[in-house]
């Protein structure tokens, strides 16, 4: 862990600001426990007084904990502004969905994971325009555990991963990128089943997005109830003449009876049955007008009628949520009478007794940057907890790319600097809220940035920021929509990620996953010779990148099996990672992880000194790949005549290969234990010990499609 300077100020959240209350000498914080295991989380909470309204606006409050480890090193752990939520799993339409309801006042939280056994002590610090103040001291004890710790580039060989305990980690898994809403994985119940299936087959890695815009989980994104990102035509209008806030925007309801506007949040709002709410806002008209309100087809709401004197008229209406009702999908406002344009501003929905705002982006000019969706944040809490429970490491793409894409075009522009500042705040929020977890493998800036953007300044400044705020030193990654050797070699990025799909435009390369993936993986590794490299999106696609019909025809996942083994044997830090998670799940393809997982389970990648080599055996024709090391060499042989295309499309049955032999280039001579593996069953099938001279060919047992072996060189007798 690293000692860090004071974190950057927190971003605006979805709360208004009030001045900080008068200073007290110290305040008390709450610890969730007085004892915690090593590499487990402890939460430290400060509940501010009622007069404290949040960290946004003029107060610009910030908070963190200063924690002294047993060796005396002082660590700074950033805090985050936390909205408590009530939560349930509800069966709806044959699916189990997460009901997450903001409830109660916000608090400051620090989530801290101790990495050293012994007593820890600390203070909680809150800083705003009046200067910092400190809590009363707190203490907790860290006890030993068998938890393996955080992921990092291996100290012995930076091409591979290991836990901070020193345990090697070879990534086997997939994408499950879009979560929540109307997506296939719409809740944590479904996700937990997928995590369990991956882990049950020996997998350990998932890449997901937390910046999907309004169609799935996104912590920072436009989630307006007035339109959708894929068809953005909101009923926004400039403020009417004579209205307040010149230059601002409002909602245009129309100008004649029957005109309407509907607020339909991107996800249905969780509501509490049997609860009264207040729907409020302000209306503007220059003549008499009347507005009818329909709240999701529920109980009638009294209409609004007023004289329309060219000023903003406030309104408030009581809304009753009937028994058993858990969701609200729309609020429609329809003109019953109007002699001209009618406008709406400040639409709000809260419990009648008070509570959090349930329509945080209902204003036409509601801020997006710095507004962190608290329902999705709570959902991501549950996702991370599920990953921990199933031993899954997560690579999290956390920036909503298109919020910033246009502004990252000119490094010396004010827009570029503002984008960096906003993303720094977002990064701090992710580190503070989820950085505690050993299930976080890497922070990925975004999915598929434009590789032509000038991002050197961005990478340098964000890297320095992560080094300052992340006490656990998580890996930092990115991806681009085309091969980007600049990024793969960049010193401010810890990993190299390539997205690659088999497409008909590749010609013959489309038909042979083993050879094509091996070539792409070797290309990636050539530009990232010293860092973990991943084929982090892979699949069968059409030329417009859509799901290929061949995916469903390949019921035995032959293309994916070949890609898994080829990526591993090309020296990457994990197997290829499928993109098509919906079909992967429907076809129950998780079993294909198990053979590779079993094969690599005892391989000490960081200390093996592997050199990837590939060659072509001619008689019979075989693809041959090996990870050659001074003491251990791993070999994978595959039959190109049994490629996925030949088997699935052309209907050729894989031939039995009975007379093959191979020689690993430059394999050191010596006495070897040769262990042969069935790559379909994932288990050894034969073993022998014998001397091998340099260049000597090794006979291969009969096989179909592919086979693997380990050659363990025995120490020389003294």
Q: Number of folded domains in the chain?
A: 3
Give the C-alpha distances (Å, rounded to integers) separating 268 from 225, 325, 439, 604: 10, 12, 29, 49
- Are residues 346 and 379 located together in one domain of the fold? no
On whether both 372 and 481 belong to a single domain, the answer is yes
Strands 611-618 and 621-628, bridge-based pairing:
antiparallel
pLDDT at 510: 98
Which tokens is 612 given? 């990837």
240 and 218 housed in the same domain = no
Same domain membership, residue 329 and residue 418: no
Task: Give the tokens for residue 36.
Answer: 């915690």
Q: Domain check: are 189 and 287 in the same one?
A: no
Backbone angles phi, psi at 119, to 5 degrees: -80, 135
Shared domain check, 325 and 291: yes
Give SS3 for 108. strand
Q: Is 103 inside any structural domain? A: yes
CB 209 within 8 A of CB 216: yes
What's the rounded Cα separation, in Å, for the pair 217 and 392? 19
The secondary structure element, H or E, covering residue 272 is none
Q: Which domain holds residue 258?
A: 236-351
Sign of the alpha-carbon dihedral angle for 109, 115, 120, 122:
negative
Per-10-residue mean pLDDT for the chain, 718 residues long? 35 31 70 96 93 65 94 95 94 86 95 97 89 94 96 97 96 97 92 98 98 96 96 94 76 96 95 94 96 88 93 94 88 95 96 95 94 97 98 98 97 98 97 98 98 98 97 97 98 98 98 98 97 98 96 96 98 98 97 98 97 96 97 98 98 96 96 98 97 95 98 86
- Assess whether 320 and 406 both reside in one domain: no
Q: Rg (Cα) of the chain, in Å, rounded?
A: 29
DSSP characters over 490-514: -TT-S-EEEEEEE-GGGGGGGG-HH
Q: Is residue 287 part of a domain?
A: yes
Least Cα distance to 594 among 192, 204, 163 occurs for: 204
Strands (E), 503-658: 533-540, 611-618, 621-628, 632-638, 656-657
Output the domain CATH number for residue 330. 2.60.120.260
The candidate with the shortest Cα–Cα distance to 589, out of 561, 622, 620, is: 561
- Angstrom CA distances, 448 to 35, 326, 343, 537, 711, stand at 42, 37, 39, 11, 39
**Residue 682 buriedness (CB in 10 A; 0-12 / 13-18 / 19+):** buried
Last residue of a domain, one of 488, 512, 543: 488
Question: Across 276-404, where does the E strand assignment appear?
Answer: 276-284, 289-295, 304-306, 312-320, 327-328, 331-338, 342-351, 393-397
Residue 127 lies in a domain: yes
**DSSP-derived 3-state class of residue 424:** helix
pLDDT of residue 580: 97
Which residues, listed in sequence order, are joined to residue 295 by a DSSP beta bridge?
Answer: 331
Specify whether 125 is located in the same domain as 182.
Answer: no
Check whether residue 410 and residue 331 sit in a common domain: no
Distances (CA, A) of 26 to 22, 126, 204, 588: 12, 10, 44, 56
Q: Which residues, 6 or more positions from 275, have their beta carbon under 8 angstroms from its beta carbon?
A: 321, 351, 352
For helices 188-200 and 374-390, angle between their N-to-C axes, nearest 10 degrees: 20
Residue 213 lies in a domain: yes
Rounded Cα gap, residues 374 and 367, in angstroms:
15
> Shortest CA distance to 678 belongs to which of 697, 704, 658?
704
Burial of 270 (0-12, 13-18, 19+ CB in 10 A): buried
Residues 209 and 246 in one domain: no
The answer on 460 and 407 residing in a single domain is: yes
Residues 58, 81: Cα–Cα separation, whole Å: 16
Task: Annotate 222-243 with three-state secondary structure.
Answer: CCCCCCECCECCCCEEECCCCC
Q: DSSP characters for 526-553?
A: HH-TTS-EEEEEEEEB-TTSPBPHHHHH
Residues 6+ away with beta carbon under 8 Å from 548: 502, 503, 539, 540, 541, 542
Residue reference for tokens 């499928």: 578
- Asked whether residue 382 falls in the same domain as residue 334, the answer is no
**How far is 344 from 349, CA to CA, in rounded Å?**
14
DSSP 323: T
Hey, what are 536's tokens? 């982090």
| Token code pair at residue 641 | 């005549």
Rounded Cα distance, 179 and 376, in Å: 10
**CATH code of 131's domain:** 2.60.40.10
CATH of the domain at 446: 3.20.20.80
Residues whose CB is less than 8 angstroms from the CB of residue 293 and which lie 6 or more positions away in sequence, other chains included: 279, 301, 302, 303, 304, 317, 331, 332, 333
Does 283 map to a domain? yes
Backbone angles phi, psi at 642, to 5 degrees: -110, 35
Q: Quick check: bond before 620 cis, omega within 30?
A: yes
Q: Is residue 456 part of a domain?
A: yes
Which of residues 457, 488, 519 is at a domain's end? 488
389 lies in some domain: yes
Q: Which of 125, 143, 161 is the last residue in one of the domains?
A: 143
Rounded to an integer, what distance in angstroms lies between the CA atom of residue 138 and that of residue 48? 17
Q: Is residue 50 part of a domain?
A: yes
> Is the pTM of the predicted complex or chain greater than 0.85?
yes
Would you state the pLDDT for residue 300? 83
Which structure tokens are listed for 253?
A: 């309801």
User: What was the pLDDT predicted at 242?
Assistant: 64
């Amino acid at each position: 862990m690293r000692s860090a300077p004071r974190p950057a100020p927190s971003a605006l959240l979805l709360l208004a600001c009030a001045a900080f209350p008068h200073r007290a000498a110290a305040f008390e914080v709450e610890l969730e426990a007085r004892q915690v295991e090593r590499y487990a989380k402890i939460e430290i909470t400060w509940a501010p007084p009622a007069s404290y309204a949040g960290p946004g606006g003029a107060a610009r409050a910030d908070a963190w904990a200063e924690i002294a480890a047993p060796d005396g090193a002082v660590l700074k752990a950033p805090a985050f502004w936390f909205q408590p939520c009530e939560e349930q799993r509800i069966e709806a339409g044959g699916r189990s969905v997460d009901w997450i309801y903001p409830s109660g006042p916000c608090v400051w939280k620090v989530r801290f994971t101790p990495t050293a056994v012994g007593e820890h002590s600390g203070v909680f610090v809150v800083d705003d325009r009046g200067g910092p103040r400190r809590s009363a001291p707190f203490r907790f004890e860290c006890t030993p555990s068998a938890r393996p710790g955080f992921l990092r580039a291996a100290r012995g060989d930076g091409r591979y991963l290991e836990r901070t305990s020193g345990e090697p980690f070879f990534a086997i898994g997939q994408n499950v990128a879009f979560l929540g809403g109307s997506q296939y994985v719409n809740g944590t119940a479904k996700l937990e089943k997928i995590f369990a299936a991956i882990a049950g087959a020996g997998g350990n890695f998932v890449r997901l997005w937390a910046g999907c815009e309004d169609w799935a989980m996104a912590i920072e994104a436009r989630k307006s109830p007035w339109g959708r990102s894929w068809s953005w035509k909101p009923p926004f209008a400039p403020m009417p003449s004579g209205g307040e806030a010149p230059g601002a925007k409002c909602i245009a309801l129309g100008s004649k009876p029957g005109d309407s506007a509907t607020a339909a949040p991107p996800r249905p709002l969780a509501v509490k049955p049997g609860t009264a709410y207040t729907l409020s806002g302000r209306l503007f008209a220059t003549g008499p007008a009347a507005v009818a309100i329909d709240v999701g087809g529920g109980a009638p709401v009294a209409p609004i009628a007023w004289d329309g004197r060219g000023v903003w008229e406030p309104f408030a209406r009581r809304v009753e949520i009937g028994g058993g009702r858990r969701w609200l999908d729309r609020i429609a406002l329809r003109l019953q009478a109007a002699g001209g344009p009618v406008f709406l501003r400040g639409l709000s929905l809260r419990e009648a007794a008070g509570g959090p705002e349930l329509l945080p982006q209902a204003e036409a000019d509601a801020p997006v940057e710095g507004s962190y969706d608290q329902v999705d944040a709570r959902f991501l809490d549950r996702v991370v907890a599920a990953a921990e429970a199933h031993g899954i490491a997560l690579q999290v793409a956390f920036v909503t790319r298109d919020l910033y894409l246009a502004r990252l075009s000119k490094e010396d522009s004010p827009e570029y600097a503002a984008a960096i500042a906003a993303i720094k705040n977002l990064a701090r929020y992710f580190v503070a809220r989820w950085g505690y977890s050993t299930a976080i493998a890497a922070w990925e800036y975004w999915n598929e940035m434009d590789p032509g953007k000038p991002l050197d300044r961005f990478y340098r400044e964000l890297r320095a920021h992560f080094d300052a705020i992340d006490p656990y030193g998580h890996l930092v990654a990115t991806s681009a929509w085309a091969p980007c050797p600049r990024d793969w070699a960049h010193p401010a990025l810890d990993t190299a990620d390539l997205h690659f799909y088999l497409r008909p435009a590749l010609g013959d390369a489309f038909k042979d996953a083993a050879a094509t993936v091996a070539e792409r993986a070797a290309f990636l590794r050539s530009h990232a010779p010293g860092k973990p490299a991943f084929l982090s999106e892979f699949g069968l696609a059409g030329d417009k990148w859509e799901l290929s019909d061949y995916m469903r025809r390949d019921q035995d996942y032959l293309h994916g099996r070949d890609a898994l083994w080829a990526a591993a044997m090309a020296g990457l830090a994990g197997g290829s990672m499928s993109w098509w998670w919906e079909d992967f799940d429907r076809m129950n393809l998780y079993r294909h992880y198990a053979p590779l997982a079993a094969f690599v389970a005892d391989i000490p990648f960081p200390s093996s000194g592997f050199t990837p080599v590939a060659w072509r055996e001619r008689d019979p024709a075989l693809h041959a790949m090996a990870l050659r090391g001074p003491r251990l060499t791993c070999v994978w042989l595959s039959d190109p005549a049994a490629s996925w295309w030949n088997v699935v499309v052309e209907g050729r049955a894989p031939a039995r290969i009975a007379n093959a032999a191979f020689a690993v280039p430059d394999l050191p001579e010596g006495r070897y234990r040769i262990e042969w593996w069935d790559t379909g069953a994932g288990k050894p099938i034969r073993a022998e010990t014998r001397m091998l001279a340099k260049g000597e060919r090794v006979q291969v047992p009969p096989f179909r499609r592919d086979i693997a072996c380990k050659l363990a060189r025995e120490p020389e007798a003294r």
